[in-house]
């Protein structure tokens, strides 16, 4: 199988037949063997009925149906596990991603050696209120992840099959699949300008909430990537620094009190100084951070996945 096309579906019954025809018309011109995996993410319209009809007429169509709506990340992850193609393509079901881009994406994976190629909707047909937050969001994602992509959230992407089998997409992490791939050791990530179509049917399933959630997910995945297997390095460091600051501040107040007492110099009680409470608070917080890191380290070391690593190749084993 040359290509597996994974298409998450949520209430897109009007566009599915047209999307299949469009994909077939393009790929048949390039003699590419393909399969289309529609993952119905708990649609409450007639999407699943359309998928059943398409799969009955076309052997290349496969369908997976969720009992309820779990989100795009769950749909992609399930589709990835079922994909058998050498190259895996992801695209949205709303006809805003053009199948005409697929042959070039496949070529970039096969001939240019990319592990992942992400689409860039340079010219977008989204409203102004959606484009501006998206630009800021992508700028921030580039800064945090270190991956020079202009459009992290573009649904049109191409992957080497090994990439999708090596990552776990969960929550709302579908926005950060390039980051997940990089963390798994697939660093050859490219980008291609792709055509963005105007929405033909239905309405968008995403609102402004996704930018807030996306920001929190980015912080989360960045933290897990750096400290997921060594939490003590973060919490232990900050905890130790906080405790030492509080300890030396308290020691300074205590030493000052002793010095003034020996020399009969009037001085208010140590507990009347605000610095005493700041020092005490710093030591308490430092201790709590250190214990959090210690407990995190114990959990990590007892995890069944503590020594799970991706092996690329072996010789004479």
**Distance between CA atoms of residues 282 and 290, nearest Å:** 12
Reading the block at residue 131, the tokens are 């484009």
Q: Which pLDDT score is estimated for 304?
A: 55
**Distance between CA atoms of residues 79 and 51, nearest Å:** 15
Give how far Cα 173 sits from Cα of 167, 180, 184, 219, 222, Å: 11, 8, 14, 11, 11
Query: Which CATH superfamily includes the segment(s) 3-227?
Result: Spore Coat Polysaccharide Biosynthesis Protein SpsA; Chain A (3.90.550.10)
Residues 6+ apart with CB under 8 A from 256: 267
Nearest to 158 by CA among 2, 1, 22, 5: 5
- 55-60-61-66 Cα dihedral, nearest 10 degrees: 120
Q: How far is CA 29 from the centre of its chain?
A: 34
Q: Which pLDDT score is estimated for 132?
A: 73
Tens digits of residue pLDDT in 44-96: 999 999 999 999 999 899 999 999 999 899 999 999 999 999 999 999 998 98
Instruction: Find tokens 């193609």 and name the residue.
Output: 85
Q: Which pLDDT score is estimated for 114?
A: 96
Q: Which pLDDT score is estimated for 126?
A: 66
Q: Which residues of the chain have pLDDT under 70?
A: 125-130, 202-215, 217-218, 221, 224-225, 228, 302-317
**Distance between CA atoms of residues 111 and 117, nearest Å:** 12
**Domain extents in the chain:** 3-227, 231-301
Nearest to 146 by CA among 189, 192, 210: 189
Other C-beta atoms closer than 10 Å to the C-beta of 117 total 28
Q: Which pLDDT score is estimated for 305?
A: 56
Residue 65's φ and ψ, nearest 5 degrees, are -120, 130
Instruction: Find tokens 């100084």 and name the residue.
Output: 273
Q: Which pLDDT score is estimated for 203?
A: 64
Per-residue b/e over 1-14, b at no fewer than 16 CB within 10 Å?
A: eebbbbbbbbbbbb
Residue 296's φ and ψ, nearest 5 degrees, are -60, -40
Q: Which pLDDT score is estimated for 39?
A: 95
Q: Which pLDDT score is estimated for 307?
A: 47
Q: Which pLDDT score is estimated for 308?
A: 52
**Distance between CA atoms of residues 207 and 140, nearest Å:** 19
């Amino acid at each position: 199988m040359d290509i597996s096309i994974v298409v998450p579906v949520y209430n897109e019954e009007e566009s599915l037949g047209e999307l299949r025809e469009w994909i077939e018309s393009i790929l048949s011109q390039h003699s590419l063997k393909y399969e289309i995996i529609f993952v119905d993410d708990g649609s409450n319209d007639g999407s699943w009925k359309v998928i059943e009809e398409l799969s009955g007429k076309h052997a290349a169509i496969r369908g997976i149906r969720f009992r309820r709506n779990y989100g795009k990340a769950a749909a992609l992850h399930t589709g990835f596990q079922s994909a058998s193609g050498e190259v895996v393509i992801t695209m949205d079901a709303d006809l805003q991603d053009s199948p005409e881009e697929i042959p070039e994406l496949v070529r970039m994976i096969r001939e240019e050696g990319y592990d992942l190629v992400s689409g860039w909707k340079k010219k977008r047909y989204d409203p102004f209120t959606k484009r501006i937050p998206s630009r800021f969001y992508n700028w921030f994602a580039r800064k945090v992840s270190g991956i020079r992509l202009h459009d992290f959230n573009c649904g049109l992407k191409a992957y080497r099959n090994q990439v999708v089998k090596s990552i776990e997409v969960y929550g709302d992490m579908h926005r950060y699949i390039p980051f997940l791939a990089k963390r798994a050791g697939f660093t050859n990530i490219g980008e291609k300008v792709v055509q963005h179509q105007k929405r033909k049917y239905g309405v968008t399933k995403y609102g402004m909430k996704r930018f807030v959630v996306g920001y929190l997910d980015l912080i989360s995945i960045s933290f897990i990537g750096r400290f997921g297997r060594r939490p003590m390095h973060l919490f232990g460091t900050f905890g130790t620094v906080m405790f030492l600051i509080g300890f030396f501040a308290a020691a300074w107040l205590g030493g000052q009190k002793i010095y003034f007492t020996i020399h009969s110099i009037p001085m208010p009680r140590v507990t009347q100084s605000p610095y005493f409470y700041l020092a005490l608070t710093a030591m308490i917080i430092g201790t709590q951070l250190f214990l959090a890191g210690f407990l995190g380290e114990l959990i990590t070391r007892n995890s069944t996945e503590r020594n799970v690593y991706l092996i690329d190749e072996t010789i004479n084993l």
